[in-house]
Amino acid sequence: MFDNIHLSFTLKESTTGTSDPDVRLMNISVATTIANILRTSLGPRGLAKLIIRQKKETEIFEADKQKTFVITKDGATILKEMASEHPIAQIIANAATAQDSVAGDGTLTMVVLAGELLKEAGNLINVGVHPTIIASGFSKALKKSIKILENLAFDVKVTDYEYWEKIAKTALESKIDFVNRDHLAEITVEAVKRSLKTVNGRVKVDIDNVEIIKKEGGSLSDTFLCDGVFVDREIVRQDMPKLVENAKIALIYGAIEVKEVKGKDLADMKLSITSPSQIASFLEKEAEIIKKMVEQIRDSGANVVLLNRGINDLAAYYLARLGIPVWNRIFVPDMERIARITGGKVVNIKELSTETLGHAKVVREVIVCGKKFLLIEGGRGHSTATIFVRSGLIYEAEEAERALRDALWAVKNAIEYGKVIVGGGFPEIALSCSLKKLALNIEGLQQMAVDAFADALLIIPHALAKNAGLNPLDALSILKTEYFNGKMYLGIDAAKKNIGNMMDNGVFEPLQVKLQALKSATELAISLLRIDECLLYK
């Protein structure tokens, strides 16, 4: 009880507050500013952002330290890189990351829509509608929208490869120019074919099995797909076999060195060196331990060794004599991927046994794009594919990687949920028009909120039209009129920069992505509307 009194006292003493309605309007203003920045990147004709890194050294991953700038149209990446200190900006960035990890695409749609919903909400607040009424109106509109979208969607079968390609193209073309789109869409489809598996009678796409490697040089049209796992490492000794068929792979966690020996063995090794002759005895002991380790590898039946740390020269020499090739200093995530694909297990050398070995048809050294790689093909575990992205410009290769990830996710979502919807702004036009009609039957001030929700949805076709160089207001009025006249699937044809039939143009998106973007945008807008006070506790 006393604690409570003390707490409230402290809070009053050291807290400064900004309260309703200022805080709401401030939050709305931050969200709409972010949405306005992102809006110009939406769709195939959207423009990229050049983001100059200003993050503190400690906030940047080691691998990214060299990069001082990023050029991208990807919503999640832009928000992550913007490094805003404002809490609302951080909440939006987190929501975009969540959208990306749940649906793999649709981040710009989500943030742009959330910004517009908040802008509409701000207008309602200004004319005296209470935020809780707006929130419940938005929730109602969302519920109806989900039903309408589900009715607009149609089924795709797992074997509808034609759809797969169209879905991949739609996801890719918003980041990659139309010239390279078709080639990358083909690669995406092939990669997904290699990632199919059945879990409890349902088809799943395991896109973790698709590795994307960026190699500077060539152009995006030289991007290619290979079966197997590629690892950017060279063989330890040139006299080791560079090709092993029927490979039994020891996946060792740690190093093959004497200092790896711990516990009892270390106690056995205790030497006090008082004369030069004892050094020889020490080396002998060391050689003996190394020999033991090599024998353990040989006895497990392994004919290939992969490890994440270093190897002692003597051990490498013995293994070379046994005809067992070694690749060392492989990243742990790569080791784990190899384990999954070959059905093996990454273990400490002490735990190595026949049961922990991975199995593959072939393990060999190959030269790709002028560089030596370890290649593992035909694993006993999951199938796998590697996409080599080629480009003379590293930032273009990075954007292509993000586009490929979006496309892989899009096809995965379409296959796993079996539903697709046409894109190009048509769903938002259809939703907006239907909700406007429905709003007429809603009594009270909630009607205004549903109406505002319907208006906010139009921001997507508006932005697509504007980015394609069309007059957005003209485009919207044509699209709405045609929809009311019963003409289906009209949207913004970004390729021809005109109004077009999205079904005929093959602009398809997974229903799942659209639904998730709509849900997340509404939830984000509602949660920001519910904040009525900002307390600064010092």
The contact set with ligand ADP (CB under 6 A) reads 42-44, 46, 73, 75, 105-109, 170, 173-174, 423-424, 460, 464, 491-495, 507, 509
Burial class (CB in 10 A: 0-12, 13-18, 19+), 368: middle
Q: How far is the CB of 391 from ligand ADP (least distance, A)?
A: 20
Q: Which stretch binds Mg ion (CB under 5 A): 171-179, 218-226, 356-364, 471-479?
A: 171-179
Q: 328 or 413: whose CB is closer to ligand ADP?
A: 413
58-63-69 Cα angle (round to 5): 80
Q: How far is the CB of 464 from ligand ADP (least distance, A)?
A: 5
Q: How far is CA 2 from CA 7, 10, 12, 223, in A?
A: 8, 12, 15, 68
Q: How far is the CB of 363 from ligand ADP (least distance, A)?
A: 39
State the binding partner of 43 from Mg ion, ligand ADP, none, CB within 5 to 8 A by kind. Answer: ligand ADP
Q: How far is the CB of 170 from ligand ADP (least distance, A)?
A: 5
State the binding partner of 75 from ligand ADP, Mg ion, none, CB within 5 to 8 A by kind. Answer: ligand ADP
Q: Which stretch binds Mg ion (CB under 5 A): 34-42, 105-113, 220-228, 305-313?
A: 105-113
Radius of gyration of the chain (CA): 29
Site string for Mg ion, 392-421 (x = CB under 5 A): ------------------------------
Q: 248 or 514: whose CB is closer to Mg ion?
A: 514
The C-alpha atoms of residue 513 and residue 171 are separated, in whole angstroms, by 11
Q: How far is the CB of 45 from ligand ADP (least distance, A)?
A: 8
Q: How far is the CB of 75 from ligand ADP (least distance, A)?
A: 4
Q: How many CA atoms lie within 13 A of 477 on its CB side?
A: 3
Indicate the SS3 state at residue 306: strand
Q: 105 or 396: whose CB is closer to ligand ADP?
A: 105
Place of tokens 């002692």: 312
Tokens of 535: 């307390």
Q: 251 or 407: whose CB is closer to ligand ADP?
A: 407
Taking CB under 5 A as the criterion, the residue among 174, 342, 432, 446 binding Mg ion is 174
Place of tokens 């330290």: 65
Residue 227's beta-bridge partner residues?
Answer: 385
Residue 74 in the binding site for Mg ion (CB under 5 A): no
State the binding partner of 32 from Mg ion, ligand ADP, none, CB within 5 to 8 A by kind. Answer: none
State the binding partner of 461 from ligand ADP, Mg ion, none, CB within 5 to 8 A by kind. Answer: none
Q: How far is the CB of 403 from ligand ADP (least distance, A)?
A: 9
Q: 155 or 177: whose CB is closer to ligand ADP?
A: 177
Instruction: Write a three-state SS string for 415-478.
Output: HHHCEEEECCCHHHHHHHHHHHHHHCCCCCCHHHHHHHHHHHHCHHHHHHHHHCCCCHHHHHHH
Nearest residue to ligand ADP by CB is 423
The C-alpha atoms of residue 431 and residue 356 are separated, in whole angstroms, by 55
Q: What is the DSSP letter of 42?
A: -
Q: Are strands 243-252 and 358-368 parallel, antiparallel or unpaired?
A: antiparallel
Taking CB under 5 A as the criterion, the residue among 81, 100, 105, 509 binding Mg ion is 105
Q: How many CA atoms lie within 13 A of 499 on its CB side?
A: 20
State the binding partner of 107 from ligand ADP, Mg ion, none, CB within 5 to 8 A by kind. Answer: ligand ADP
Q: Are strands 243-252 and 304-307 parallel, antiparallel or unpaired?
A: parallel
Are 292 and 269 contacting, i.e. CB atoms less than 8 angstroms apart? no
Q: How far is the CB of 96 from Mg ion (least distance, A)?
A: 12
> 180: part of which helix (H) or strand (E)?
helix 178-193
Q: 105 or 286: whose CB is closer to ligand ADP?
A: 105
The C-alpha atoms of residue 422 and residue 104 are separated, in whole angstroms, by 18
Q: 176 or 357: whose CB is closer to ligand ADP?
A: 176
State the binding partner of 358 from ligand ADP, Mg ion, none, CB within 5 to 8 A by kind. Answer: none
Q: How far is the CB of 517 from Mg ion (least distance, A)?
A: 10
Residue 512 in the binding site for Mg ion (CB under 5 A): no
Number of shown-chain residues binding Mg ion (CB under 5 A):
2
Q: How far is the CB of 41 from ligand ADP (least distance, A)?
A: 6
The C-alpha atoms of residue 260 and residue 82 are separated, in whole angstroms, by 44
> 90: part of which helix (H) or strand (E)?
helix 87-103
Q: How far is the CB of 291 from ligand ADP (least distance, A)?
A: 58
State the binding partner of 516 from Mg ion, ligand ADP, none, CB within 5 to 8 A by kind. Answer: none
The C-alpha atoms of residue 236 and residue 257 are separated, in whole angstroms, by 14
State the binding partner of 104 from ligand ADP, Mg ion, none, CB within 5 to 8 A by kind. Answer: none
Q: What is the DSSP letter of 201?
A: T
Question: Which residues does 208 contact at the CB level (< 8 Å), separation at least 6?
Answer: 337
Q: 174 or 434: whose CB is closer to Mg ion?
A: 174
Q: Note the residues at the interface with Mg ion (CB under 5 A).
A: 105, 174
